[in-house]
Amino acid sequence: MGYFLEGERMDNIKSIEQIGKKARGRAERIKHLRGERVTQREAILGHCYDCMGGYTDGARDCEIETCSLYPFHPYRKSVTGHIAGIDSNLPAGVAQTV
Ligand code: SF4
């Protein structure tokens, strides 16, 4: 791992520890940045944490239903209709399987 990348990872960890909220995905994001192995679920939680800027506005639903990770977003409110405007075309029951 290059020096620059290592420094960038450390800067990211410090930033999370200083301003990132204690929310789902925080530990997983840090774990990834430390170079530790993460599961797919942990990777998603960590990615959403990063995407939400460390939830500095509070742990909330991103409401980006078109994101392919949205069905796994930890604060998702919407259980059905995960892709707005498309679910009405799906066979009955498909939306509930997500
Ligand atoms: S589900 Fe939301 S928070 Fe997670 S990666 Fe997609 S847009 Fe970002």
Tens place of pLDDT for every residue, the chain, 98 residues?
556 678 999 999 999 999 999 999 999 999 999 999 999 999 999 999 999 999 999 999 999 999 999 999 999 997 754 444 444 444 444 444 33
Residue of minimum CA distance from atom 1 in ligand 1 = 70
Question: Is residue 73 in contact with ligand 1, taking CB distance under 6 Å?
Answer: yes
Amino acid identity at 19? I
Question: Is residue 52 in contact with ligand 1, taking CB distance under 6 Å?
Answer: yes
Q: Domain total for the chain? A: 2
User: Same domain, yes or no, for 11 and 46?
Assistant: yes
User: Same domain, yes or no, for 7 and 26?
Assistant: yes
User: Same domain, yes or no, for 26 and 47?
Assistant: yes
User: Same domain, yes or no, for 23 and 66?
Assistant: no
Distance from C-alpha of 77 to C-alpha of 3, rounded to nearest angstrom: 41
| Dihedral (Cα; 48, 61, 71, 11), 10-degree rounding | 0
User: Same domain, yes or no, for 2 and 50?
Assistant: yes
pTM of the model: 0.78
HSE of 84, CA atoms in CB hemisphere, 13 A: 6
HSE of 25, CA atoms in CB hemisphere, 13 A: 25
CA of 76 to the centre of ligand 1 (A): 10
User: Same domain, yes or no, for 50 and 65?
Assistant: no
User: Same domain, yes or no, for 51 and 68?
Assistant: no
* pLDDT (0 to 100) of residue 34: 95
DSSP 8-state symbol, 80 = S
CA of 39 to the centre of ligand 1 (A): 17
User: Same domain, yes or no, for 27 and 45?
Assistant: yes
> Domain limits at 50?
1-57
* pLDDT (0 to 100) of residue 95: 45
